[in-house]
């Protein structure tokens, strides 16, 4: 038994202790802080606008930063809302565009964003633009995927299809099985 302990134990005890401390620290975090912590660890970019003017200014500044002239929107409700506040939008979808839309839930324990056919229609993640901007409300944060799926079952009489999550928001340093990443920006609005 001692042989296995030596063989499988980590050579870097300080690294193990550091990882253990991080896990303990995150266990006591509220869901919103936990989500932001994991989301940023995954490489996501985060905005927390103070009001509607701040939200509008940040959306326009982000377009300039990305060197784009319009957002692509496939959700009708967002299309009307963004046109109303004079944000340049179109509905033509291609890989070079910046997709702007909503999501079903923000998954705190993974820092992931869950979408369904309500946001992406029948398009899979790999069929959508690489650069994405999500708008979410603070009450969309849930602890886990199980909680998100439970809420979807309660919310919709006819369940949406195409339920998917993304959680890799920066290019991986090494090859991995799940190496599809998305340049992602999140506007989290307090409600």
CB-CB contact of 178 with 38 (8 Å): no
The CATH number for 139's domain is 3.40.50.10420
pLDDT digits 0-9 by tens, 50-109? 998 999 999 999 999 999 989 999 998 888 889 888 899 988 888 788 999 999 999 999
Question: Please, what is the angle between helix 13-27 and helix 31-41, to 10°?
Answer: 140
161 within 8 A of 119, measured Cβ to Cβ: no
> 93-115 b/e with 16+ CB inside 10 Å = b?
eeeebbbbbbbbbbbbbbbbbbb
Q: What is the pLDDT of residue 4?
A: 43
Any domain includes 10: no
Break the chain down into helix, strand, coil percent, rounded to 5.
Answer: 40, 20, 40
Q: What is the DSSP string of 59-72?
A: HHHHHHHHT-S-EE
What's the pLDDT at 3? 44
Any domain includes 3? no
Whether 22 maps to a domain, the answer reads no
Q: Within a domain: residue 1?
A: no
Residue-range definition of the domain harbouring residue 135:
30-189
Rounding to the nearest 10 degrees, give the CA dihedral for residues 138, 144, 145, 149. Answer: -70
> Which pLDDT score is estimated for 25?
66
pLDDT digit string (tens) for 6-47?
444 555 555 555 656 566 666 778 999 999 999 999 999 999
The residue that leads in pLDDT, 76 or 150, is: 150
The residue among 61, 102, 50, 51 whose CA lies nearest residue 79 is 102
Q: What is the pLDDT of residue 191?
A: 84
User: How many helical (H) and strand (E) elements, i.e. helices and strands, does the chain have?
Assistant: 7, 10
Q: Is residue 82 part of a domain?
A: yes
Count CA atoms closer than 13 A to 88's CA, side-chain side: 10
Domains in the chain, number: 1
């Amino acid at each position: 038994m001692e042989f296995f302990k030596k063989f499988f134990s980590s050579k870097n005890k300080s690294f193990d202790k550091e990882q253990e401390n991080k896990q303990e620290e995150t266990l006591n975090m509220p869901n919103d802080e936990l989500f932001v912590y994991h989301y940023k660890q995954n490489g996501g970019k985060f905005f927390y606008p103070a009001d509607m003017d701040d939200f509008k200014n940040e959306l326009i500044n982000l377009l300039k930063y990305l060197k784009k002239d319009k957002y692509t929107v496939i959700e009708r409700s967002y299309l009307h809302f963004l046109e109303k506040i004079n944000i340049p939008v179109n509905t033509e979808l291609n890989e070079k565009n910046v997709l702007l839309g909503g999501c079903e839930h923000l998954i705190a324990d993974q820092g992931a964003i869950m979408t369904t056919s309500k946001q992406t229609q029948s398009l899979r993640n790999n069929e959508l633009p690489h650069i994405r901007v999500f708008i979410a409300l603070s009450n969309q944060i849930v602890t886990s995927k199980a909680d998100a799926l439970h809420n979807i079952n309660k919310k919709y009489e006819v369940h949406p299809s195409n339920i998917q999550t993304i959680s890799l928001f920066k290019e991986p340093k090494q090859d991995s099985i799940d190496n599809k990443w998305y340049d992602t920006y999140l506007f989290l609005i307090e409600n």
